[in-house]
Chains A and B, each alone.
Chain A
Amino acid sequence: MAQLADSLVNVPLIVPTTALGYSLALFWGGQDIITNVTVLVIFAHIAFTYPLVVRNVAGAVMEVDPSYEEAARTLGAKPFATFRTVLFPIVRSSVLAGAILAFTRSLGETGATFAVNPDANTMPVYIVNLVESGDFYLAAIAAMVLIMVSFVFMFGIHYIVKGEGGRR
């Protein structure tokens, strides 16, 4: 059961994001509970980025020696206090790293966004539109900005992971 859930988490990573976005648009399009397309775009982005966070955090949690939590419990901490004061701080860097990975992935994504809402003007969609209209100069500048932002976050992860690793 746990193994099944574990592999299901990975499904959004293997399904092409365009297919994911299209199926989400089909599913949510035929109802009138949520009609705001921006919310649907956010849904789509959550769907293909959350495995990155889950992977990272689950891996880190499994590596934490259960004796830390046991020690905290026998010292008088209730389960939630144990999570807040012991487990979370120990895996905090992995939560952050997962969040940054998810953010960068979301930042550069076109397929799902386009499938859910062709008018959503996210950065990559904007670049595609610029290229299509022949505005290569502006497209190049926008692409550079996107690449730089992604790089800054990648270095951010590197710094966080290394910093926390050294403190252990």
Chain B
Amino acid sequence: MTTVELRNLTKRYGKVVAADGLSLKVEDGEYMCLLGPTGAGKTTALRMVAGLLSPDEGQVLFDDKDCTHLEPEYREAVMLSQNYSLFPHMDVNSNVIYGPRIKGWDPDESQEVADNMLEMVHLQNRKDAMPRELSGGMQQRTALARALASGSKVILLDEPLRALDARLRIELRREIVLLAKAMGITAIHVTHDQEEAMVIADRIAVMRGGKVIQVGTPREVFDDPATPFVANFLGQSNFFVGKVVGKENDITIVENDVGVTVKARMCPFPMGEEVVVAVKVGNTTLKHNDGFFMGRVERILYEGTYIHIDVLANGERYAAKVPNRKYEDFSEGEEVLVGWPPTEAKVFAMPPEGLAEELRLE
């Protein structure tokens, strides 16, 4: 039973604010992803949980107990870093058994735990290898076994898959989640890869500028983003700026300053309010006979299963992803109608600092 709670954490480095009133609660046994662009303060948050960094203000609680100033070795929260940090002077077995040994467990019991972990990560045959003799994937699995063998109740993963190639990354992220779940430990996983977060997390905490902007299941943050930034960061969105001109049957009608109107989901904003309509690239349709406004195809990219099409309309660029079987239907320079199912488009209040600033990836 371990819950991890961050309460109002603040951390400054000179003028840079790495954590700005950061609050988050991770439930027992939950797999939580901290997702955000570089510089959002994800690693800072993780290091404060590990006890490797002391917050200027705020609290870190394990099981509702204040551990803000507890030394890392007493927290039972093990860190798995992106370069694995396998001890170079120890073989695989000594690395994996390090936690039990340093905690003074019974030697036979320690070896049994290490053997179990090595078997779980399929490295029982490489016990005597030195870390430098292992491939990247094996090093990663050794580090994982070492972390799990330490008996910690919380595992903190800092971009653990960053240094691996794409195929291995997909395989290993599955393994990590399965092991964490099998052992019932609470996991906090930092990543900037939204696709990775979507498939592994129970819940995602989207971070930006040292704050958590939204916490929710992958589906919640994807389908019902809290801000235009979240809408764009997860799955990329198209935006349409205008004023609310009508509401009918759960649908909002938004019109821009040159009289183009689009439809979106119901929203709480009054008539005449300036709003931003966001719709996922994958939900944007390009048709020859139906849509909200006309645009000119600027670029077509064949990406494999999908094709990516950029369209220039009303001086803005709109992107769409359509199945590759439609590749023949479009050609660069031709005019198409841009549209979307109104229920897939969400209406946001115009951000006070402007849309461009809101979407900026520091």
Interface of A with B (CB < 8 Å)?
65, 67-68, 70-78, 81, 85-86, 89-90, 167-168
By a CB distance below 8 angstroms, the chain B residues around A168 are 88, 132
Using a Cβ–Cβ cut-off of 8 Å, how many residues does chain B contribute to the interface with A?
Answer: 28
By a CB distance below 8 angstroms, the chain B residues around A72 are 87, 98, 102
| B85 and A68 within 8 A (CB) | yes
Q: Interface code B64-105, partner A: CB below 8 Å = 1, 0 otherwise?
A: 000000011101111101010101110000000011001100
Q: Which of B73, B88, B89 contacts A77 (CB 8 A)?
A: B73
By a CB distance below 8 angstroms, the chain B residues around A71 are 79, 81, 85, 87
**Whose C-beta in chain B lies nearest to the C-beta of A77?**
B102
Q: Which of B88, B130, B150 contacts A90 (CB 8 A)?
A: B88
**Whose C-beta in chain B lies nearest to the C-beta of A168?**
B88
Interface of B with A (CB < 8 Å)?
50-52, 71-73, 75-79, 81, 83, 85, 87-89, 98-99, 102-103, 130, 132, 146-147, 150, 152, 156
Cβ of A25 to closest chain B Cβ, rounded Å: 43
Q: Is the interface of A mostly helix, strand, loop or mixed?
A: helix
20 A–B contacts from the bound complex (CB under 8 Å): A70-B50, A70-B52, A70-B85, A71-B79, A71-B81, A72-B98, A73-B72, A73-B73, A74-B51, A74-B52, A74-B79, A74-B156, A75-B78, A75-B146, A76-B99, A86-B87, A89-B89, A90-B87, A90-B89, A167-B132
| B83 and A85 within 8 A (CB) | no
By a CB distance below 8 angstroms, the chain A residues around B88 are 68, 90, 167-168
By a CB distance below 8 angstroms, the chain B residues around A67 are 81, 83, 85
Cβ of B14 to closest chain A Cβ, rounded Å: 18
| A75 and B132 within 8 A (CB) | no
By a CB distance below 8 angstroms, the chain A residues around B98 are 72, 75, 77, 85
| B85 and A76 within 8 A (CB) | no
| A65 and B150 within 8 A (CB) | no
